[in-house]
């Protein structure tokens, strides 16, 4: 199980690292795929891993994969949409910067998530 | 990690497996059977995609796609149904196999538009591309253009993706959106169904029924499909992380009796105030995550926040979610957004907004009666939609009764399915409210529909009778959905020739020109969204006379500056199907007006014509 989360962290970090420069320029199809994949999974995935899904799994029951994956996708889309909307309302439209900033924010959350203490054992089962 | 979570799944038998001890031998699923079922799915998808790619769109008749489908397609649907039910009949859940079967159904049933036509479906898709393009190019919102700019979240997301990815033409995304949206919906639906049901079989069967009965076609590139995905995730998250009553219900007699009544109706609902054992920080983080979803939904679509609010109130009332802050927050935010942010929209439509509050008769009339009109084929399609929806309601009610007798969960799904109906009190939503209510209700109703087809517990086998009944139900729903979803195919899809006419329009008409469509069903505005004055002569609604369809009307609109008029095959198909004006009114209009010396056809192909109407000064 721990390996799964390590793999998820590494994958998200890889996508975020690639998306930051590609948000400014890069080869057509690869740029679209990486940025699209990042906006679909990056910010939400980083948030979910930051708050500690291992502990949520213990507290909320073990069969949470569909919800966590859904939440990753929905949160990513929501955060990206809200970032873009805020830029429009403050009249500062810079999508490449926003995508790169979200990538670095995601990397930060992923790094902070690693440094947080491991699973506590005080949570009651569902 | 398994992909469902339900009451029976937490039984000791399953827990033993989770701890690493092998399942009992009788619960093992033979690998050969899994491989055979996976092969059935693969054969189904190859056959189905091949059959769809063979369809000649010119053969699509007035009953829509179903008449043009080759036999191989129906074999593929049959194989898909058998494959899913076979996977459901296994002794334990094999999520990868069940997921594969559902994915195959999605491709076969909901991937028809992109595979057959290769272009975005519905004229609204093209408008949505234009709004995203406008935002991407200008970085501005202009709420005076139309209501979309008052709820810009989804379009801002598209624009951001377009600019940051360098993919400035999003047509391919719009084309494949029906397939993509349904695939993205699968896990959220599974997460929700797992919280609404007591068996893994019921949860998977509910998703299967959702896709089989989802005829509304709101899965195109649109704010409502985006907000719908977020809404399903939000409700599933709330029901997972914040379980139970929001307040201690034993405080007074009324709440105490209410709790007893709820417990009598559905004993599976927790009796005591909530608490999942989450730490304060984890709970707070999840609350923030849910609040972010609420804000994104509110910023993106007019109706969905109100659906979230009504479903949230219903779940609070039956003690299914314990979080107190989020539901009022959703309601207040939706109202504040409407009043403050969307002020430019409502200030121009105040009578339309307030006049329809409580006018249930008018709303029902616009949602049902006014839609049952037009050609015989169109009336049949609308009738089939009503029958299919009625069938789902009847099966859901039967499921409620059966679940109550079996003492398995039903009240939460019922509350979720019926709560959005209260939106009928608000307004007709352009006559589309019934479609939207069906869409909001279906994920919940599907969980009830399948109850009667399930064994009493997971440990019982599905059995031949239930399995056969499920295949028959699946076949009935799939066939009906081919009519209800694709029945209007001729007017909802466009040809490359029609797009060529619009490309010529943008090529020839200078910015600022008046551009006219004969009937509101044109694949335009995907670029230059605000650079032209777009005018529609006839709405896409039934009306016995087409009073505005005269040469004089167009000449007056053209005025001194001149104008361009677009008439396409899909406009004529929509006029014929919906009964807009007398039969043949558009060809007659064209025949008469093309003799006018001020009118000249500047481009024409088999599916459309572009006229230039000279201004009065130039004509003299």
CB contact under 8 A, B295 and A82: yes
Q: Is A101 on the interface with B (CB under 8 A)?
A: no
For chain B, say whether A120 makes contact (Cβ under 8 Å). yes
Nearest chain A residue to B2, by CA: A63
pLDDT of residue B531: 93
CB B103 within 8 A of CB B176: no
Contact at CB, B230 and A78, closer than 8 angstroms: yes
Q: How far is B159 from chain A (nearest CA, A)?
A: 8
Identify the closest residue of chain B to A41 by CA–CA distance: B184
- Partner residue opposite A59 with nearest CB, options B166, B276, B289: B276
If you average pLDDT over every residue of chain A, what do you get?
86
Contact check, Cβ <8 Å, A125/B277: yes
Contact criterion met (CB < 8 Å) for A73 and B187: yes
Contacts with A55 from chain B: Cβ below 8 Å:
279, 282
Q: Which residues contact B275 (CB under 8 A, 6 or more apart)?
A: A124, B243, B244, B322
Q: What is the DSSP string of B289-338?
A: HHHHHHHHHHHH-SSHHHHHHHHHHHHHHTTSB--SSHHHHHHHHHHHII
Q: Which chain B positions have a beta carbon within 8 Å of A119's beta carbon?
A: none
Q: In terms of CA atoms, which chain B residue is nearest residue A123?
A: B277
Q: Which of A28, A60, A77 sits opposite B157 (nearest CB)?
A: A77
In contact, A88 and B135? CB cutoff 8 Å: yes
* CB contact A116 to B (< 8 Å): no
Cβ–Cβ below 8 Å for A63 and B5: yes
Q: Which residues in chain B have Cβ-Cβ distances shorter than 8 Å to A89?
A: 141
* Average pLDDT of span A31-45: 97
Residue B550 buriedness (CB in 10 A; 0-12 / 13-18 / 19+): middle
CB contact under 8 A, B159 and A95: yes
CB atoms within 10 A of CB B30: 10
Q: Helices marked H in B407-487 — which ranges?
A: 411-418, 433-449, 464-486
Query: Per-domain residue ranges for chain A?
Result: 2-115
> In terms of CA atoms, which chain B residue is nearest residue A84?
B156
A124/B289 Cβ within 8 A: no
Distance between CA atoms of residues B363 and B578, nearest Å: 19
Distance in angstroms (rounded) separating the CA atoms of residues B300 and B164: 20
Interface test with B, best of A95, A104, A121 (most B CBs within 10 A): A95
Give the minimum alpha-carbon distance from B186 to chain A in angstroms, rounded to a whole number.
9
Q: How many CB atoms lie within 10 A of CB B233?
A: 31
pLDDT, residue A121, reads 41
Give mean pLDDT in consecutive 10-residue pieces for chain B, a chain of 620 residues: 42 38 63 95 98 94 93 97 97 94 98 96 96 96 90 97 96 97 97 93 97 95 97 95 79 83 85 64 88 98 94 94 92 94 76 64 65 84 94 97 93 94 71 85 97 90 94 98 95 95 96 94 94 92 76 91 94 91 86 90 94 73
Mark yes or no for CB contact A47/B289 under 8 Å: yes
Asked if A63 and B1 come within 8 Å (Cβ–Cβ), the reply is yes
Q: What is the pLDDT of residue B260?
A: 87
Cβ contact (<8 Å) for B299 and A81? yes
- Is residue A105 within 8 angstroms of chain B, CB to CB? no
Q: In what order do the strands lie in the sheet with B533-538?
A: B533-538, B514-519, B563-568, B608-613, B599-605
Given B154, B166, B167, which is nearest A81 (Cβ)?
Answer: B154
Look at residue A117 in the predicted model and tell me its pLDDT.
56
**Domains of chain B, residue spans:** 494-619
DSSP letters for A22-57: HTT---HHHHHHHHHHHHHHHHHHHHHHHH-HHHHH
> Choosing among A28, A44, A60, A85, which should be mutated to test the B contact, i.e. which has the most B CBs within 10 A?
A85
- The residues pairing with B613 across neighbouring beta strands, listed in sequence order, are B563, B599
Q: What pLDDT is stored for residue B584 in this prediction?
A: 83
- Point out the residue among B167, B234, B282 whose CB comes nearest to the CB of A56: B282
Residue B269, helix vs strand vs coil: coil
């Amino acid at each position: 199980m721990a390996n799964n989360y390590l793999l998820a962290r590494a994958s998200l970090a890889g996508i975020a690292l690639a998306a930051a420069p590609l948000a400014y320029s890069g080869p057509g199809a690869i740029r679209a795929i990486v940025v699209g994949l990042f906006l679909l999974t990056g910010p939400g995935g980083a948030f979910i891993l930051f708050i500690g899904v291992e502990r949520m799994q213990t507290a909320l029951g073990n069969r949470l994969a569909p919800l966590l994956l859904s939440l990753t996708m929905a949160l990513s889309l929501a955060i990206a949409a809200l970032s873009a909307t805020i830029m429009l309302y403050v009249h500062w439209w810079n999508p490449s910067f926003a995508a790169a900033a979200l990538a670095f924010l995601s990397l930060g959350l992923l790094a902070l998530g690693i440094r947080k203490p491991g699973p506590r054992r005080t949570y009651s089962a569902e | 990690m398994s992909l469902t979570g339900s009451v029976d799944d937490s039984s000791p038998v399953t827990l033993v497996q989770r701890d690493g001890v092998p399942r009992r031998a009788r619960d093992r699923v033979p690998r050969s059977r899994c491989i055979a079922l996976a092969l059935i799915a693969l054969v189904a998808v190859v056959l189905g995609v091949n059959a769809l790619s063979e369809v000649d769109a010119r053969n699509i008749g007035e009953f829509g796609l179903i008449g043009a489908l080759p036999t191989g397609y129906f074999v593929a649907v049959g194989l898909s149904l058998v494959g899913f039910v076979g996977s459901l009949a296994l002794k334990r859940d094999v999520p990868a196999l069940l997921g594969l079967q559902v994915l195959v159904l999605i491709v076969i049933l909901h991937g028809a538009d992109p595979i057959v036509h290769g272009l975005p479906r519905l004229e609204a898709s093209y408008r949505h591309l234009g709004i995203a393009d406008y935002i991407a190019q200008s970085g501005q919102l202009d709420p005076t253009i139309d209501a979309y700019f008052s709820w810009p979240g989804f379009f801002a997301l598209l624009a951001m993706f377009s600019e940051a990815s360098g993919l400035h033409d999003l047509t391919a995304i719009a084309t494949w959106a029906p397939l993509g949206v349904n695939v993205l919906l699968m896990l959220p639906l599974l997460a929700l169904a797992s919280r609404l049901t007591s068996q893994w079989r019921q949860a998977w069967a509910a998703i299967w029924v959702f896709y089989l009965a989802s005829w509304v076609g709101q899965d195109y590139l649109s704010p409502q499909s985006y907000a719908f995905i977020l809404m399903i995730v939000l409700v599933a998250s709330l029901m997972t992380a914040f379980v139970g009553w929001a307040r201690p219900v034993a405080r007074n007699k009324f709440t105490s009796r209410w709790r007893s009544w709820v417990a009598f109706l559905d004993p599976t609902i927790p009796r005591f105030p909530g608490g999942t054992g989450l730490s304060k920080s984890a709970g707070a983080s999840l609350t923030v995550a849910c609040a972010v979803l609420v804000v994104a939904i509110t910023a993106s679509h007019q109706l969905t926040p109100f659906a979230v609010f009504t479903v949230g109130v219903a779940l609070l009332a039956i003690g299914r979610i314990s979080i107190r802050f989020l539901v009022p927050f959703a309601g207040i935010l939706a109202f504040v957004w409407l009043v403050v942010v969307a002020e430019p929209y409502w200030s121009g439509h105040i009578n339309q907004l307030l006049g329809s509050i409580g006018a249930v008769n008018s709303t029902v009339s616009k949602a049902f009666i006014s839609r049952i009109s037009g050609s015989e084929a169109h009336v049949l399609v609308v009738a089939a939609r009503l029958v299919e929806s009625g069938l789902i309601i009847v099966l859901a009610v039967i499921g409620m009764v059966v679940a109550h007798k079996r003492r398995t969960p039903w009240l939460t799904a019922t509350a979720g399915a019926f709560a959005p109906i209260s939106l009928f009190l608000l307004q007709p939503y352009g006559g589309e409210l019934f479609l939207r209510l069906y869409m909001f209700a279906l994920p919940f109703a599907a969980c009830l529909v399948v109850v009667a087809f399930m064994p009493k517990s997971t440990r019982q086998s599905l059995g031949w009778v239930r399995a056969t009944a499920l295949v028959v139900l699946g076949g009935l729903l799939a066939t009906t959905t081919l009519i209800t979803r694709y029945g209007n195919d001729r007017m909802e899809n466009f040809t490359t020739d029609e797009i060529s006419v619009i490309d010529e329009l943008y090529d020839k008409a200078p910015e600022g020109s008046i551009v006219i469509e004969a009937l509101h069903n044109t694949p335009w505005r995907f670029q230059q969204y605000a650079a032209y004055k777009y005018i529609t002569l006839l709405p896409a609604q039934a009306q016995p006379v087409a009073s505005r369809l005269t040469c004089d009307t167009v000449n007056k609109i053209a005025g001194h500056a001149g104008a361009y008029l677009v008439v396409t095959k899909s406009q004529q198909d929509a006029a014929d199907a919906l009964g807009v004006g007398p039969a043949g009114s558009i060809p007659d209009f064209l025949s008469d007006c093309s003799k006018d010396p001020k009118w000249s056809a500047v481009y024409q192909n088999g599916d459309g014509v572009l006229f230039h109407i000279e201004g009065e000064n130039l004509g003299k």
